[in-house]
Amino acid sequence: MRGMRRSAALILAAAVLYVPPVLPANAADAAAAPGAATVVPVQVTGAPAKRFNLVIMGDGYTESEQAKFQADVDRHLNVMWSIEPYKSYRAYINVYRVDIVSGESGVSCDPALTSPKKTTPLSMGFWGQCNANSVQRLITMDNTAATRYANLVTGTTTANRQILALANSGTYGGAGGSYATASGSNSMSALISPHELGHSLGGLQDEYDYYQRGVPGGAYTGPEPASAHHTLLTEQQMLDQKKKWWRWLGEPSESGGPIGRYEGGMYATTGIWRPSRHSMMKTLGYYYDQVSREVMAQRITAKTTVIQDATPSDTSVGADRVLWVEPMRPNGHALTVTWNVDGADLPGGEPDTLDLRTLGLTPGTHTVKATVTDPTTFVRDPAIRAAMSASRSWTVDTSLTTPPDGVTPGIVSSTPVDRPLGRTGVVYVETTHPAASVPAVAWALDGKRVGDGDSDLDLGALKPADGTHTLTATVGGRTLTWTVDATSPKTGYELSRPLVRSGDTYVYNGPFTMKLTGTDDQGGYVVSESRVDGDGWFNYFGWPTSSELPWTFTENGTVIDSLVYGKLPRGRHAIEYRSIDGAGNYGKAGSFTVTTIAPPPACTRTVTGVQRGPLTIADGVTCLDHAQVSGPVTVRAGASVVVTGGRVDGALIASKAASVQVLGARVDGALTVDRAGALAVVGADIRGAALLTSNAAPILSGTTVKGALACTGNTPAPVDLGVPNKVTGLSAGQCGKLAVGPGGKSYEAVEDVHE
């Protein structure tokens, strides 16, 4: 995918000291047989019974295409890790890849109903497995077969796993239901999978206002939907009744615009409303908005155990020991552990251990309770917050004496050490739990002691300087080492040739392209994004038809498969860009400004090469396309001229012309234009004076005028679109502020590559 850089090493993250179970694999001599399957642990962060297990399998990949399947999985995952809440809750997820050998390459009915049907292990096919009453982009499969392959992953069950099946196809498509499917190698396919997981895992609904592309969905006629992100209520009704997304109303949306009420969704065009303009459930490339993200955070955490382990509580414990809990470990924040003794919370934020000897308990029995809560800002609903919390209780009897348990300080598990840590992440070490002591974790950053000995260390609070650092944690004579990547990724942008530019300001009068390239000093995948005029960040996946093609912006957009891409209304726009590296670091956003103006009128006559003598244009639209006119050019009332490149060896005079466009051309004489219906002088070289009088909305941008410049009576006043002009002579009237003197910078129209 464009905007990412592939490292030699694929993601293989295993929690320290956690040994995954031996998984079934076919014998080598049977590996080529259709239907043969091998399970490969891609990321194992804990025992399957205590994790959300994502099982990714492929269909239509032959034996020789298994490396392609591996690359497809790698791309899908790395894009997913850049999207919240998967990014924050990555440590909650085990990922297993099931490499299934297909006897045929590809899947059925791809891309048309008339395309061949394939015999593949999962029987995947477009058009809902070749159903003429379905839609082309719907990829379904044999769910029974998928379950059979998923059952090869030891320790997973239907309750703690999610199946994602990738089709060996470059055609856009996918589906979400009990299981999720997506095409493996379409330019947008790595964004299809989190959308479909929104359905399968999150129970989210489509926010499309159509079912069949290109066919309006009509009016919604049903009751108030059960969907968390669709409603019939007004904003005021949501607030008054405290229903749906009332807690988020007015918040800037993670996917652009404020959270509010936008018409269309659940395949209906009217009569139903969604929370944001374009979240992932409506438009691939954007993030989940806050409403959907809250649901997804709940669903991911619900498939795990918030408290992984704790001091046994089935019998009373003595007051001479240490109690402990092992909470889950998100990547970007630590869970909160609150200790309560006989109904009263202990003051301050306590770590995940409590030394009962420090409490001075009175003789008798007491109740001690530990409550683990996720303080994530992704959640505002108290019911969801409660569902993401858990408690353990113990009866403490001061008459009991805890016998020696022989447990010594040591390391049980940790944040994976085989990939760099981001500069704002939370890293952890899970220690052993001696009954009579609290093992301290000795943290050191570049050899300097940091932290307070707790099992969690917030790197963001340390604010490591730019660069690469070494983090160590020592417990009981054993030391773990991580690389901390505190260098943000860089993003380069490349635009197609503009009419004119000044630094990061560009002017176009037609379509233009943008290519983003993200790089990082640590290698791995880099996901690039852009946003327009402060709207939501949009994943840069290249062009929908090919990740090798740059993104194209046009005034009306480009229609591909009945969807519009790259629509950018005429005017001035700020485009920001950034990247996210494999460690989760966000690069500093850069920006450039693009102003798009009206294209020139269509030519009725085109002049190229050498034109001898003067030229008079009496009617129609005459285009001088890199021509050389050896004399003056006169444009009469109602006629138009478009001079693109080339040279006029004399003056250019127009009076009451319909349109005058001088674009990157040289005029050796004076330029005199009055009462033109449209006037654009952009990137031109005027060797004489310029007099612009009473024209409609004239543009004078990035132009050199060797003589005087005078502008009067134009409505509105001429503009330079952020690209100043260079004037050698005097500048007067409305154009006085549009020129820099002889020492000013010259502006050349060139293809721009910037980082």
Q: How confident is the model at residue 23 (pLDDT cuts 50, 70, 90)?
A: very low
Closest C-alpha to 380, from 277, 202, 244 = 244
Q: Is the dihedral of CA 212, 217, 220, 224 positive or negative?
A: positive
pLDDT the model gives residue 382: 97
CA atoms within 13 A on the CB side of 17: 13
Q: Are 204 and 228 contacting, i.e. CB atoms less than 8 angstroms apart?
A: yes
Q: What is the pLDDT of residues 546-594, one digit of tens each?
A: 999 999 999 999 999 999 999 999 999 999 999 999 999 999 999 999 9
The model carries a pTM of 0.90
The pLDDT value recorded for residue 245 is: 98
Q: Where are the beta strands (DSSP E) in 223-267?
A: 262-265
Q: Is the dihedral of CA 144, 145, 147, 151 positive or negative?
A: positive
The residue behind tokens 């050389």 is 628
Specify the pLDDT at position 12: 31
Nearest 5°: phi and psi at 384? -70, -40
Backbone angles phi, psi at 642, to 5 degrees: -125, 110
Residue 742's pLDDT band (cuts 50, 70, 90): low
Q: Which tokens sit at 185?
A: 């190698």
Confidence of residue 172 (pLDDT cuts 50, 70, 90): very high
pLDDT at 166 over 70: yes
Task: List phi, psi (to 5°) of 528.
Answer: -100, 150
Q: How far apart are CA 357 and CA 337, in angstroms?
A: 19
What CATH number was assigned to the domain covering residues 492-509+522-596? 2.60.40
Domain 13-200 fold = Collagenase (Catalytic Domain) (3.40.390)
Residue 163, both tokens: 């199946």
The answer for residues whose C-beta is within 8 angstroms of residue 129's C-beta and 6 or more apart is 108, 109, 123, 140, 141
d(CA 643, CA 633): 10
Over range 140-156, report the average pLDDT. Answer: 97
With contact defined as beta carbons under 8 Å apart, do 298 and 388 qualify? yes
Q: Is the pLDDT of residue 26 over 70?
A: no
**Tokens linked to 428:** 């952890």
For the CA atoms of the chain, what is the radius of gyration? 32
Q: Which one-letter DSSP state was computed for residue 297?
A: H
Predicted pLDDT at 556: 96
Question: Is the confidence at residue 199, as pLDDT, over 80?
Answer: yes
Confidence of residue 737 (pLDDT cuts 50, 70, 90): confident
Instruction: Provide the token pair at 497.
Output: 């040739």
Structure confidence by residue, pLDDT tens digits, 618-676: 999 999 999 999 999 999 999 999 999 999 999 999 999 999 999 999 999 999 999 99
Are 274 and 228 a contacting pair, CB within 8 Å? Answer: no
**Banded model confidence at residue 32, pLDDT cuts 50, 70, 90:** low
How would residue 14 be classed by pLDDT, with cut points 50, 70 and 90? very low
Least confident of 11-25, 83-97, 323-337: 11-25
State mean pLDDT over 104-111.
98
CA distance 256 to 237: 23
C-alpha–C-alpha distance, residues 97 and 37, integer Å:
10
Protein fold of 307-397: Immunoglobulin-like (2.60.40)
* In the chain, domain spans: 13-200, 307-397, 411-485, 492-509+522-596, 605-752
Q: Which CATH architecture has domain 411-485?
A: Sandwich (2.60)
Q: What is the pLDDT of residues 308-348, one digit of tens each?
A: 999 999 999 999 999 999 999 999 899 999 999 999 999 87
Cis peptide before 716 (omega within 30 of 0): yes
Q: Is the pLDDT of residue 1 over 50?
A: no
Greater confidence (276 vs 21) lies with 276
Which of 7-21, 393-407, 530-544 shows the lowest per-residue confidence on average (mean pLDDT)? 7-21
Residue 397 β-bridge partners: 318, 365
Tell me what the pLDDT averaged over the chain comes to.
92
Would the CATH topology of 13-200 be identical to that of 492-509+522-596?
Answer: no
Please give the structure tokens belonging to residue 578: 């950034």
CA gap 49, 37 in Å, rounded? 22
Judge whether residue 167 has pLDDT over 90: yes
Output the pLDDT for position 521.
92
pLDDT of 36-83, one tens digit each? 999 999 999 999 999 999 999 999 999 999 999 999 999 999 999 999
The number of residues in the chain equals 755
Count of alpha carbons within 13 angstroms of residue 722, beta-carbon side: 20
For residues 428 and 308, give the distance between their C-alpha atoms in angstroms, rounded to a whole number. Answer: 14
- Of the candidates 173, 178, 110, the one whose C-alpha atom is nearest the C-alpha of residue 143 is 178
pLDDT at 348: 73
CB 265 within 8 A of CB 292: no
Specify the higher pLDDT residue, 24 or 123: 123
Instruction: Say if residues 511 and 526 touch (Cβ distance below 8 Å).
Output: no
Return d(Cα 485, Cα 370) in angstroms, integer.
34
Strands (E), 61-199: 93-100, 161-167, 174-176, 180-183
**Tokens coding 673:** 């234009």
What's the confidence (pLDDT) of residue 520?
A: 95
Q: What does the pLDDT read at residue 741?
A: 66
* pLDDT for the residue numbered 3: 34
Buried b (16+ CB within 10 A) or exposed e, 330-361: bbbbbbebbbebeeeeeeeeebbbbebeeeeb
Find all residues with CB under 8 Å of 407, minimum gap 6, and list them.
432, 433, 434, 435
| Angle, helix 66-80 to helix 189-200, in steps of 10 degrees | 70
CA–CA dist 182, 169 (Å, integer):
9
Give pLDDT tens digits for 682-708: 999 999 999 999 999 999 999 999 999
Q: What percent of the chain has pLDDT over 70?
A: 94
